[in-house]
Amino acid sequence: MSYITPEMLKKGYLLFPKALFEEQMKAKKVRRAEDFFEAFVLVLKHVNYSTVRCCVKGRTFDCARGESALTFVRWAEIFGWNRSRTRYFFNRMFGLGLIEKLLNPYATHIRIPDYELLTGNSRPLAPRVKDAPGEGFDAFWQKYHEITEKPKVNIGRARREWKKLSPEERRLALQNIDEYYDHLAHIKYCKQAASYLADKSFKDEYDD
């Protein structure tokens, strides 16, 4: 089977022993994935079993269970394919929703949304938390610049920093803009929105 179609996804999942697949791969004369099915199982086999802390280009981030931050070059080596076929495979999986591409400016960060089900766990991975109305990035962006009167620059970087925050950190980032601004020694030291988020200045503590 070379391709996976949307119709195939409606038939559910069939679990099989991981060791059986490994034996099949060892028995092959050529160590490479023959089709998209074998490639997908290899992805399933190589994603994280538990959350790990990754460091790429000096930046650290969490890579959770069911996720991976391997490069396309490394995936190509695992599949035994060239890079163009590897990219085509992942783009196909992204389109079908079998694999998700997570927003990460530092690495190729992917996630298998049904990882728990595919590995025999009855509970699916928790969905990524969405902001409540009035508490999202747009609300933060508007409020931050209304209070600080800083130029609205680097919105892309600010949005990436926002996505890295936990729901509680996002709440604090929005709530503590006034406090942060009021405690500046001089307004010339006021940070851009992206730096305010990246430095987590909303967690600063003050003596008064």
Based on the domain organization, do 114 and 152 belong to the same domain? no
The pLDDT score that the predictor gives to residue 133 is 45
Count of beta carbons in the 10 Å neighbourhood of residue 40 = 19
Exposed/middle/buried for 190, CB within 10 Å: 0-12, 13-18, 19+? middle
Kindly report the backbone phi and psi dihedral angles of residue 98, in degrees, each rounded to the nearest multiple of 5, phi listed first.
-75, -30
Structure tokens at 30: 């050529």
Report the CATH number that the domain containing residue 32 is assigned in CATH. 1.10.10.10
Domain, as residue range, for 64: 6-118
Pair 112, 43: CB distance under 8 Å? yes
Last residue of a domain, one of 87, 118, 149: 118
pTM above 0.85, yes or no: no
Based on the domain organization, do 113 and 162 belong to the same domain? no
pLDDT in tens, 65-101: 899 999 989 999 999 999 999 999 999 998 888 899 8
pLDDT in tens, 132-160: 544 588 889 999 999 999 999 999 999 99
Residue 125 lies in a domain: no
Residue 1 lies in a domain: no
Based on the domain organization, do 104 and 142 belong to the same domain? no
| Residue in 33, 151, 144 with CA at minimum distance from that of residue 93 | 33
